[in-house]
Structure 1
Amino acid sequence: MHALAMLAHRRGGSLTSAEIADSLESNPVLVRRVLGRLRDAGLVWSTEGRGGGWSLARAPRDITLYDAYAAVEEGQIFSRHTHPPSGACEVGRGIGTLLDAEFRDAERALEEQLGKTTIAGLLRRILAFDGEPGSH
């Protein structure tokens, strides 16, 4: 999301993975991995060679935080039992099914919330943020 906001702020220009990594205080190789997933999802594209770099593939108003989240995160948000609990246990018999339903509802709520905010909207809030707690 950080990289997408930077690319939106660039307004049609491109950034190298090293420039993005500097802002993230990260390694360009790790940034390229994430950008590769964003590219696979159709959110960014890259050009190689001198003057190349990464750019948004869609308008910032057409990319939601959920689009970005879905592109880079794998699997379920909440971990489940790695193996079923004992069916002989009164708690173990029902906990998995009930927690799965609770977790699915929470995951849907997260997806819905992230789908409400676009990269353009996030960037507006970032640029208006003055660094004070509660100032957004």
Structure 2
Amino acid sequence: MNKSSRFAVSVHILTLLALKSTPVPSSYIAASVNTNPAMIRRILVMLGNAGLTRACMGANGGTSLARAPSDIPLLEIYRAVDDPVVLSLHHSAPNTHCPVGCRITEVLENVIDRAEAAMQATLADISVADVVEKLQLEAHPA
């Protein structure tokens, strides 16, 4: 199975930007994520198109958040960078003459819809600010 890491990288990027008061160059972000700047720039384009980041040109250019971290739910990040379908059905139609194959798609559609709704509800309840807070609490326990 092919899994995308764009969501995790995007949350990393936006969390990093939330901690910085000035625009951050893609090379700095890439060093934090431990990947190449070209991959970061591709993701930054997606995040920018979704209105989550803004590019700042010039000698001190880079990327910054377009909104407050508390106004960026993880669900919005997920929708900006990943295929919104986590689970999928068979790639080819099951055998309709089989007692399982004739109804499995109908049953699985319901299960998949419920699972995706639960995941999206969870992501909608967590913001970039929540991620920042969790990082800071774990870095500096009381």
Alignment: residue pair count? 131
1:63 aligns with 2:78: no
Give the letter for the 2:107 counterpart: L
Query: What is residue 3 of structure 1 aligned with on the other side?
Result: 13
- 1:28-107 counterparts in 2 under 5 A? 28-107=37-116
Query: What is residue 117 of structure 2 aligned with on the other side?
Result: 108
1:124 aligns with 2:133: yes
Segments ≥4 residues shifted beyond 3 Å: none
Q: For 2:15 and 2:43, locate their aligned partners in 1 and report how far apart those are by CA, in whole Å.
A: 14
| Alpha carbons of structure 1 residues 55 and 130: separation in structure 2 relative to 1, 3 Å | closer
- Give the share of equivalent positions with the same residue, in percent: 34
Give the letter for the 2:15 counterpart: A
Q: For 2:57 and 2:102, locate their aligned partners in 1 and report how far apart those are by CA, in whole Å.
A: 56
Structure 2: runs of 5+ lacking an equivalent: 1-10
Q: For 1:40 and 1:83, locate their aligned partners in 2 and report how far apart those are by CA, in whole Å.
A: 34
Using the TM superposition, give the Cα deviation of residue 46 of structure 1 relative to its aligned residue in structure 2, in angstroms: 0.4
Using the TM superposition, give the Cα deviation of residue 83 of structure 1 relative to its aligned residue in structure 2, in angstroms: 1.5
Structure 1: runs of 5+ lacking an equivalent: none
Aligned Cα root-mean-square deviation (Å): 1.4
TM-score, with length taken from structure 1: 0.91
Using the TM superposition, give the Cα deviation of residue 79 of structure 1 relative to its aligned residue in structure 2, in angstroms: 2.4
